[in-house]
Chain A
């Protein structure tokens, strides 16, 4: 009988984060059908709004408006709605508690979950962009990296609030609230449908700020308005703080 001699110790923070982010991405990919579904509404909406005249838009370039709007919508669907629902059920089934009974720290889990969702969102935006190009969209690529950065900022904000919701509500309620927020922002967020003019106040709506930033950078080829960055940054800080404060393993 060979004894099993203890040799405790945590791997480096980077190794733990890399391994856990990869694990979360693997699980996200395994629910591939959910990810495709979360792209269906934005892409169908994008084509309907961008290629037909059924809705009156305040801009001339319908397709650019619709593609960037669909991108902002997909980021919301994945990083907020889907994240909140999945994490809510993970808590319900004790998956989070099992991870809590390991060397993975609270912040390690929150960072990994947000990083994985960020990677996924960027991938989805690329997919939407490619569909857009296929139907005639001609983006400006000068600010592509800035567009990725602003998207990660939005994803961090959404993921933070998703983790908070899943921490304070029962999973059924989380699902209902997350879906409601998605629907309200789909209708009123200025992504695919025009909204009443709110002036600079529109930058306080995260999905609107994200869509406008993408429009500036991918369509006009100009740096996004400072207020859009500021609005998203404020949401990201608030979201991450909310997740840190409220997150529970159980």
Chain B
């Protein structure tokens, strides 16, 4: 099967600045890849290349088996693009006019009324873009990206600025795209969104892919777990710290909440609990937490920045 998107050793330069350094990853049909990274990491540059707006300075990009720059005209009907912030929709056009316009570019578009209902656009189809709220513009932009029934969609921060309901509606549409076999590439700053939706996560920092894999693999590969114990505040944790093995940390934050991080095997846990017992601490809650994608992301991108 031809991958929907394949990047191999892609580098992008702006003058003397290397924005993307030999990045590579692949997306199969019906899979969702979340591209994560701090601001300025190179996500937008990568999307520009994937969308055929510019050539990479080195390496190869294939979109549905074709060159997105050279074969742009042939490819565009097969690709749906949602720019960041719903950008570039004509401010004086009405939402419904834009939706019908983009539908008319396609040979077999989705039913415009159905799509408007699903994304909750109905109430503002007669409103000009410049009068729409940020969340309304985002939903319209998503509709424009998918109305032509593409095989591959690029969603640049699709739920930024949306309220909770709109976010869930958007997630549902994204799930339906994936279920239909559409390959989805999305960027987001919301790591819970990536963890929830993505089959695969690619984390880039300073232009380099620093981690890639499923959310589960990325969160467990660090092997870290976390224990949160709520008890009396201001216990002398310095003494506890001395008894813990290397790599396990303890901190009180906020007061009365003790966070133990590290590889917490049964022996470590027993030692921690015995220490609290020896102080006759009144424990009100104990929670164990798996590391989240957010923890992994922060650890990785911080290490990369150091």
Give A contacts to B, CB under 8 Å. Answer: 1-12, 15-16, 19-20, 23, 26-27, 30-31, 90, 93-106, 249-250
CB within 8 Å of A: which B91-137 residues: 91-93, 97, 100-102, 104-108, 110
Instruction: Tell me whether A101 and B81 are in contact in the complex, defined as CB-CB below 8 angstroms, given that A10-B105, A93-B91 are known contacts.
Output: yes
Instruction: Tell me whether A19 and B104 are in contact in the complex, defined as CB-CB below 8 angstroms, given that A1-B176, A26-B97, A98-B83 are known contacts.
Output: yes
> Which of chain A's residues have a CB closer than 8 A to the CB of B151?
6, 8
9-residue interface stretch from B36-44, B71-79, B205-213: B71-79
> Which of chain A's residues have a CB closer than 8 A to the CB of B87?
94, 97-98
A20-B93 Cα distance, complex, nearest whole Å: 12
7 cross-chain CB contacts under 8 A: A3-B176, A4-B149, A10-B77, A30-B92, A93-B91, A102-B105, A103-B76
- Tell me how far the C-beta of B117 lies from the nearest C-beta in chain A, rounded to whole angstroms: 13
> Which of chain B's residues have a CB closer than 8 A to the CB of A8?
77-78, 106-107, 148-151
- Tell me how far the C-beta of B77 lies from the nearest C-beta in chain A, rounded to whole angstroms: 4
> Which of chain A's residues have a CB closer than 8 A to the CB of B107?
7-12
B105 touches A11 (CB 8 A): yes
A93-B182 Cα distance, complex, nearest whole Å: 30
- Tell me how far the C-beta of B148 lies from the nearest C-beta in chain A, rounded to whole angstroms: 6
A60-B161 Cα distance, complex, nearest whole Å: 67
State the 4 A-B residue pairs at the shortest beta-carbon distance, nearest first: A98-B88, A9-B107, A3-B180, A19-B104
Q: Does B65 contact A (CB under 8 A)?
A: no
Other A-B pairs, 12, CB within 8 Å; known A27-B92, A101-B83: A1-B176, A6-B78, A10-B106, A27-B90, A27-B93, A31-B92, A95-B89, A99-B88, A102-B148, A103-B76, A103-B106, A250-B53
Instruction: Tell me whether A3 and B179 are in contact in the complex, defined as CB-CB below 8 angstroms, given that A27-B93, A98-B83 are known contacts.
Output: yes
Partner of A16 from the list B93, B97, B104, B182 (CB cut-off 8 Å) is B104
> Which of chain A's residues have a CB closer than 8 A to the CB of B77?
8-10, 103
B97 touches A1 (CB 8 A): no
A94-B89 Cα distance, complex, nearest whole Å: 8
How many A-B contacts at CB < 8 Å in the complex? 118
> Which of chain B's residues have a CB closer than 8 A to the CB of A27?
90, 92-93
> Which of chain B's residues have a CB closer than 8 A to the CB of A100?
53
A250-B51 Cα distance, complex, nearest whole Å: 13
> Which of chain A's residues have a CB closer than 8 A to the CB of B81?
101-102
A42-B93 Cα distance, complex, nearest whole Å: 29
Q: Does B173 contact A (CB under 8 A)?
A: yes
A99-B151 Cα distance, complex, nearest whole Å: 19
A9 touches B106 (CB 8 A): yes
A80-B183 Cα distance, complex, nearest whole Å: 43
Over the window 217-260 of chain B, the binary record of Cβ atoms lying under 8 Å from chain A Cβ atoms (1 yes, 0 no) is: 00000000000000000000000000000000000000000000
A93 touches B88 (CB 8 A): yes
> Which of chain A's residues have a CB closer than 8 A to the CB of B97?
23, 26
A103 touches B176 (CB 8 A): no
Q: Which A residue's beta carbon lies closest to that of B78? A: A8
A102 touches B88 (CB 8 A): no
A96-B81 Cα distance, complex, nearest whole Å: 14
> Which of chain B's residues have a CB closer than 8 A to the CB of A31?
92
A11 touches B176 (CB 8 A): no
A30-B176 Cα distance, complex, nearest whole Å: 37
A6-B177 Cα distance, complex, nearest whole Å: 8
> Which of chain A's residues have a CB closer than 8 A to the CB of B91?
93
- Tell me how far the C-beta of B165 lies from the nearest C-beta in chain A, rounded to whole angstroms: 17
Residue with the greatest number of chain A CB neighbours at <10 A, chosen from B51, B90, B110, B176: B90
